[in-house]
Structure 1
Amino acid sequence: MYFIVFILGITIGSFLNVCIYRIPREESIAFPASHCTNCGYKLKPYDLIPIFSYIALRGRCRKCSEKISIIYPLIELLNGIIYVIIFHFYGVSISTIFLSIFSSLLIVISAIDFKTMEIYTSTTVFGLVLAVIYIILASYFNEINYKDKLLGGLVGFLIIFLIVKISRGMGEGDYEIAGLCGLFLGLKLVLVALFLGIVIGGIVASIILILKLKGRKAEIAFGPYIAIGTFISMILGDRILQIYLAFFA
């Protein structure tokens, strides 16, 4: 099962690369078929095997030998690993399916935000629809408490909304992401996720400033750090809360 889940993950990861490339360009994610962005060569099925095709082609286009970014196989590998981890902790369940899909969405949002400093409405709308379906199905089968998820969505949204309006240190799209994360995590876990995201983001921003990689007024994408905090909370959030209560309660 772990192998099957991993293969499914890297296969979907290949599609995520298409989304990451085309969404900022406002292109269809379905048409045209995958092709080399340099020479237009239409990729054959054997050119599209996740990770393995990249290795076989030595990271270059089969026709024009243009170098292919290593980001592509890394996204595929990351998605496969995340799917396996979620399956390990949640087993065969509705939550496994929807949390996996949501994690893939966070990869897309994070990669686009990192490259363009933009969060696109099409991704957040898809996330909202996904969250609604998840809450309805999972609550029907008694996997979750829908009130907790809705409250998590509201609180996650409001926390980052207030930070954005008061400090203007984040973008408006960040509170949309936080709201989505709350719908999937619930109240307690979204608080853990946002705390971790803010801490990790702060550490990275400090390192960037210390190394003078960017100026003090330069924008830094915060979406990826919310995503990292969300995934950690998704897997270890309850344990983190237990440790916190054991030390400070």
Structure 2
Amino acid sequence: MSLALLTALFGLLVGSFLNVVIYRVPRGLSVVWPPSHCPVCRGTISPRDNVPVLSYLLLRGRCRRCKAHIPLRYPAVELATALLFGAAGYTFGLGMDLARALVFVCVLIVLAATDADRRILPNAVVLPGAAAGLLLSFAADPAHWWVYLLAGAGVGAALLLLWLLYPGGMGMGDVKMGGMLGAFLGGYAALAVFLGALLGALVGVGLMLGGRAGRRSALPFGTFMAFGGMVALFWGRDIWEIYLGLLSGG
């Protein structure tokens, strides 16, 4: 069985746990106790109803006991985690680069979902994520350990300056997330932030043209930065080389 397939299957299981983190951490709840349960009827979810993606399909998106609707986000997170884990296994191969990529994917998925759902980037995810990013980056690329420190500090400082100049444009959670991106991506964190800002601008313009948002409507910048982080993780070097080629006229 290939590494990509193994990591994808592992991603399904991890995605199920990430759903717990996404729901509980912003609410200040423990992620280990009590066991998984329906938030409506409070009934414990049995193992047969907790199989990633498959259980959702068999239950037709409803709780077995009370028939409450199960948000589509649950299978979507599980499936997205599986696909991204599989892509990471295929791209990075077995080693510390893969370990760093898998942890990064988990952190980004959680932050993207919590910011989209509740407009929050929890410190309980961002700060441990930044610490894990530095440790894994030091282990994966010990010769350039200083790059990740400087990138984390530099991107965080740049976003902090923007927050001070335009306090309504983002929150401190976005600033901390920018530092975390640097811990995982090094210099490519700047690309992640740029892509996130570009996507956010495009979505904002689209919503305004469709009459679904105004100029002062709040958008989840952390969700867009998470998307930029995913792109930078898999294609950051390629994008940078294309950019340099355009500058040199090659």
2-side partners of 1:245 and 1:39: how far apart? 57
The correspondence of residues 18-33 of structure 1 with structure 2, limited to 5 A, is: 18-33=20-35
Deviation at 1:133, TM superposition (A): 2.4
| Other-structure match for 2:241 | 242
RMSD: 1.4
More displaced stretch, 154-163 vs 236-245: 154-163
Deviation at 1:43, TM superposition (A): 0.9
| Other-structure match for 1:221 | 220
Deviation at 1:215, TM superposition (A): 2.3
2-side partners of 1:89 and 1:248: how far apart? 27
Deviation at 1:27, TM superposition (A): 0.8
Q: Is it true that 1:145 corresponds to 2:144 in the alignment? A: yes
> Aligned with 1:145: secondary structure?
helix
Deviation at 1:167, TM superposition (A): 2.2
> Aligned with 2:68: secondary structure?
coil
| Other-structure match for 1:91 | 93
* Matching residue's letter, 2:53: I
1:67 to 60, 69, 94: 69
| Other-structure match for 1:115 | 117
Aligned length: 245
CA contact (8 A) 2:148 2:186 kept: yes
| Other-structure match for 2:205 | 206
1-side partners of 2:237 and 2:140: how far apart? 19
Deviation at 1:218, TM superposition (A): 1.9
1:105 to 80, 104, 107: 107
Deviation at 1:31, TM superposition (A): 0.6
2-side partners of 1:235 and 1:173: how far apart? 24
Segments of 4+ in structure 1 off by > 3 A?
none
| Other-structure match for 1:76 | 78
CA contact (8 A) 2:43 2:65 kept: yes
2-side partners of 1:221 and 1:90: how far apart? 30
Gaps of 5+ in 1: none
Deviation at 1:29, TM superposition (A): 0.8
Deviation at 1:81, TM superposition (A): 0.6
* Fraction of identical pairs, as percent: 31
2-side partners of 1:207 and 1:238: how far apart? 29
2-side partners of 1:240 and 1:44: how far apart? 45
Query: Deviation digits for residues 19-39 of structure 1, max 9, x if unmatched?
Result: 111112111111100011111
* Matching residue's letter, 1:99: A
Deviation at 1:84, TM superposition (A): 1.0
| Other-structure match for 1:186 | 186
| Other-structure match for 1:9 | 11
CA contact (8 A) 2:137 2:148 kept: yes
* Matching residue's letter, 1:179: G
- Alpha carbons of structure 1 residues 146 and 232: separation in structure 2 relative to 1, 3 Å: same
TM-score, normalised to structure 1's length? 0.94
Deviation at 1:2, TM superposition (A): 2.1
TM-score, normalised to structure 2's length? 0.93
Deviation at 1:44, TM superposition (A): 1.0
Query: Deviation digits for residues 202-245 of structure 1, max 9, x if unmatched?
Result: 11111112112122222111001111111101111111111111
| Other-structure match for 1:164 | 163
1-side partners of 2:153 and 2:127: how far apart? 16
1-side partners of 2:113 and 2:106: how far apart? 11
> Aligned with 2:113: secondary structure?
helix
* Matching residue's letter, 1:116: R
